[in-house]
């Protein structure tokens, strides 16, 4: 048990530094934590650390370093069959590449700039006719989280209900794919 703490402590401190704006210090600590988890053969914890490191690199405007960290995390999560984490990493990689993630709708520039990758994915699920419960299962969050996210999507796109959102998305299909949006450090993490 004590051995695992040697990786958790720098990971937690790195996240704290990230929140305080010290991206350089956070990157160093997260790299140390990833090495520790790798030595302990803890692939999911190592993957979570690479995911966090990718967010730090994104804040530092080092897209290639972020992409590399997220690719490493994706490989670890894939090997561990950690589907919720795979989805989260794919969302980050899609946002970094400025491409539409699988199932996400292309939104007009004014609206899409404010939506996170997960909000875009939720909007597309609603468009496809998913209930809140079904959407929650597909994006690995609670129904209440879906309701809160959907409220934000409505506000950001200027629509009032699911029907208007579906119509809005139908009309926006001819718009350009989403551009690189800022990282969302407050995104919902899988349980």
CATH number attached to the domain at 2-81: 1.25.40
Query: Model's pTM, two decimal places?
Result: 0.53
Query: From 1.10.150.120, 3.40.50.300, 3.40.47.10, 1.10.10.10, which CATH number describes the 82-191 domain?
Result: 1.10.10.10
The ranges of the chain annotated as CATH 1.10.10.10 are 82-191
Give pLDDT, residue 95. Answer: 78
What tens digit of pLDDT does each residue of 64-123 get? 888 899 999 999 999 988 888 888 888 888 777 764 444 344 444 445 556 788 888 898
User: Region 162-172: what's the mean pLDDT?
Assistant: 73
What is the maximal distance between C-alpha atoms in the chain? 56
The ranges of the chain annotated as CATH 1.25.40 are 2-81
- Report the length, in residues, of the chain: 191
CA atoms within 13 A on the CB side of 108: 12
Alpha helix positions (H), the chain: 2-20, 23-39, 43-59, 63-80, 83-97, 109-112, 117-127, 132-139, 143-157, 162-172
């Amino acid at each position: 048990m004590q051995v695992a703490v040697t990786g958790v402590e720098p990971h937690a401190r790195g996240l704290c530094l990230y929140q305080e704006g010290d991206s350089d210090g956070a990157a160093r600590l997260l790299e140390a934590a990833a090495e520790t988890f790798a030595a302990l053969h803890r692939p999911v914890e190592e993957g979570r650390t690479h995911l966090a490191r990718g967010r730090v690199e994104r804040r530092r405007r080092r897209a290639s370093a972020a992409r590399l960290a997220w690719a490493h995390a994706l490989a670890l999560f894939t090997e561990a069959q950690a589907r919720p984490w795979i989805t989260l990493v794919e969302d980050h990689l899609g946002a970094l590449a400025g491409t539409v993630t699988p199932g996400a709708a292309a939104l007009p520039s004014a609206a899409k700039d404010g939506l996170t990758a997960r909000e875009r994915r939720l909007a597309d699920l609603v468009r496809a006719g998913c209930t809140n419960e079904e959407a929650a299962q597909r994006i690995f969050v609670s129904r209440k989280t879906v309701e809160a996210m959907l409220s934000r999507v409505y506000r950001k796109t200027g629509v009032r209900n699911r029907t208007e959102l579906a119509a809005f998305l139908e009309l926006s299909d001819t718009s350009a794919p989403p551009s690189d949006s800022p990282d969302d450090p407050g995104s919902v993490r899988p349980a």
